[in-house]
Amino acid sequence: MFGFVARRIFRACVLLSWVTALAYPASAQEVAMADQPEIEVPDVVVSATKTPMPAKQVTSAVEVITGEDMQQRKIRTVAEALRWASGLAVFQSGGLGTTVDVRMRGGTPEQTLVLIDGAIVNSATIGTFNFANLTSDNIERIEILRGSQSMLWGSDAMGGVINITTKRGRDKPNVSAFAEYGSFNTIREGGGIAGKKGPIDFSGSITRLDTAGFSAINYRRGAAERDGYHNWQGSVRLGADLPKDGRLDFSFRWLDGSVHFDGFAFNPVTFASDPADVFGARSRSTQYVFAGNYAQPLTSWWLQKLTLSRATENLGSDGGAVERNLVTGATGLIGFPFRSQIETVSNRIEWQHNIQVGKPLLLTAGYQFREQKGDNRDLLTNTTVFENKVVSSHAGFGEAQLNLWDRVFGTAGIRQDEYNVFGSATTYRVTGGYLHQETGTKFRGSYSTGFRAPTINQLFFPGFGNPNLQPEKSQALDAAIEQALPGDRGSISVGYFWTRYRNLILSIFDPAVCTAPGSFGFCAQNVGLARAEGVEVTTKLKLYRDGRWIKTLDLHIQYTYAATRDISSGSDSRLPKWPLHQISTVISYQPVEGLQANLEGRYVGERFGNVGNSNATPSFVVWNLSASYDVTKQIQAYLRFDNMFNEKYEEVLFFGTPIRSIFGGVRINYDLPL
């Protein structure tokens, strides 16, 4: 392992010598840190440039969700938080623990790059990250960067980036614990510790969630079996402030989720797949995420940052033995039984350098090595589907950031990736913005390209994979105007985006090309072409302050219009799973000190389950209500009502969603006398 790392670092030194040649002494300034872990305030953004930047200077579309926001609204999972974000489509195939797909700006789940503390957690075999098991515990912030971001972040960032950071201990040591009980026999409990002592800071938590749940296939369609879910999660972050403004961080997160699921049964009369209650179908996912970050200024104008990370997943699935077709009512042995064991590993090494050239110009350059490995075994037949398949890449990137008079901002960058499976990919990105400080008006815009490397399944899965695949590619632009309201009363943002996707990887019937055994004439090919354009509107208002019965009253509204088109076949139909309209709103009300209430509303328009737009999923509106009361400085009691008007809806066609449900709990915080 050490030899492996040494070889990669040696190659990076070549790039470092190039960076050094570009640098020359300038005025003494603090150099911004890439992926800087100690960012605390929500008006600073890291993901857009890999350096900390005030939000008012960012020229990309970014949204930040803080851990404090999630705790205030009693949000249990990251997926729940993302549902209220702009430009995203977040849908779950059943209750807690079932698959959650997150899409950005007309893209697919495979085109959203997800990182936890710098570790890439997208699956090596299917390309997506399943948010089902990721709870909100011990998370400091989530940065959502929309638009093609491959120039800085590489493959999988065609649609955007979701960058998740674990909490950092900052104040005096503190211990906390909570216990919660609610509908569907849901029990949730956990504890944590965080704080700072001298140069050492630490945070850690461990939580458990158990629920009897409800049927993954919608019970309103006749499904009766409860599909339960069990989740363990632990996380640790340990950091040290080093001499001469250096910083060392280590993060670890463990996710263990076990869930029962349903599926579909073949109908011999209609030759269709009907929704089915599947008895005994279950899966278990165990994930480990490791990340280490070391940052050290070399001079007053030159800083380096080294990131090493590893994410592993062991996913075991059992398709069950008996199924009941909900259309015909027939019960029998499952038509296509399966038992599988999939193991994946994702490694990342990145060495980044930031060089301040005078006051207006910051140069960033770096090297990244990325490696994904996958193994797949069929436990039913005790055979190997594929073994030790690897997709790896070396990349170099460079970016210049310009800041003139704290009014005019711009970035320009280019990246070159070299892959072991298809060759090279070149991406670039240009952004610009202007801030009129007197009125608080900001104009921003960007143009960028992106790519996504084919996954291990798309390349090597027997009977489907195609080793000759090329990467998917995209071109994207966006423009927006943001207006801060007088007296720090809030802000309004209106933006437009346009993205063109080409070379998309689809399963195509072509007997002349798809000749592998078991393919039946189908295989993966680069034939897809799609387009997405739309509008994103965000309004944040501080409606009232310091009244007799209104200490604070805030309103947050998001609206997304996404017009998507599949233009590869000439049908000009909408892309699957994408609604034209989405609206979310959060009203936060604090009548007196210690009492807080939040009303959340979410509207999702009609969407379709396939490219032909024949399977429509109706629109829906869901309202949630949460409230908390600080009984003492150390004890807080809270309640949460989900789907309070008992809306009958489906996020994914045929799959169930919660009925009206209620959860209550107690949270305790205690400062340690250290």
Taking only the tens place, the pLDDT of each residue in 612-623 is 788 899 999 999
- Rounded Cα–Cα distance for residues 233 and 208 (Å): 6
Residue-wise pLDDT tens digits, 285-343: 999 999 999 999 999 899 999 999 999 999 999 999 999 999 999 999 998 889 999 99
Q: What is the pLDDT of residue 5?
A: 38
The pLDDT-based confidence of 599 (bands split at 50, 70, 90) is very high
Q: What is the residue whose two structure tokens read 């704080």?
A: 195
Q: What is the pLDDT of residue 268?
A: 83
Q: Are 402 and 430 in contact (CB under 8 A)?
A: no
Of 259, 267, 282, whose CA–CA distance to 326 is shortest?
267
- Rounded Cα–Cα distance for residues 34 and 30 (Å): 13
- If DSSP codes are grouped into helix, strand and coil, which group holds residue 39? coil
The pLDDT-based confidence of 1 (bands split at 50, 70, 90) is very low
Per the prediction, the chain carries an average pLDDT of: 90
480: Cα separation from own chain's centroid: 23
Q: What is the pLDDT of residue 39?
A: 40
Q: What is the pLDDT of residue 335?
A: 82
The CATH number for 414's domain is 2.40.170.20
Residue 620's domain spans which residues? 2-671
Residue-wise pLDDT tens digits, 145-184: 999 999 999 999 999 999 999 999 988 899 999 999 999 9
Q: What is the pLDDT of residue 522?
A: 84
Is residue 588 over pLDDT 80? Answer: yes
Q: Between 364 and 4, whose confidence is greater?
A: 364
Residue-wise pLDDT tens digits, 106-137: 999 999 999 999 999 999 999 999 999 999 99
- Sorted by sequence, the CB contacts under 8 Å of residue 583 that are 6+ apart come out as 557, 558, 559, 560, 601, 602, 603
**For the chain, what is the largest distance between any 2 Cα atoms, rounded to a whole number of angstroms?**
78
- Rounded Cα–Cα distance for residues 575 and 578 (Å): 6
Residue-wise pLDDT tens digits, 441-493: 999 999 999 999 999 999 999 989 999 999 999 999 999 999 999 988 999 99
Please calculate the CA angle 653-216-377 and round it to the nearest 5 degrees. Answer: 100
Single-letter code of the amino acid located at 78: V
Q: What is the pLDDT of residue 298?
A: 92
Is residue 23 over pLDDT 70? Answer: no
**Exposed, middle or buried, 611 (CB in 10 Å: 0-12/13-18/19+)?**
middle
Q: What is the pLDDT of residue 509?
A: 81
Q: Mean pLDDT across the stretch 332-361? A: 93
- If DSSP codes are grouped into helix, strand and coil, which group holds residue 72? helix
- Rounded Cα–Cα distance for residues 110 and 118 (Å): 18
The pLDDT-based confidence of 521 (bands split at 50, 70, 90) is confident
Is residue 12 over pLDDT 50? Answer: no
Q: Mean pLDDT across the stretch 83-105? A: 95
Q: What is the residue whose two structure tokens read 């309640």?
A: 639
193: Cα separation from own chain's centroid: 25
| Sign of the C-alpha dihedral computed for residues 222, 223, 225 and 229 taken in this order | negative
Q: What is the pLDDT of residue 43?
A: 81
Q: Are 257 and 285 in contact (CB under 8 A)?
A: yes
Q: What is the pLDDT of residue 272?
A: 83
Number of domains, the chain? 1
Q: Mean pLDDT across the stretch 378-382? A: 92
Prediction pTM value: 0.91
Q: What is the pLDDT of residue 428?
A: 96
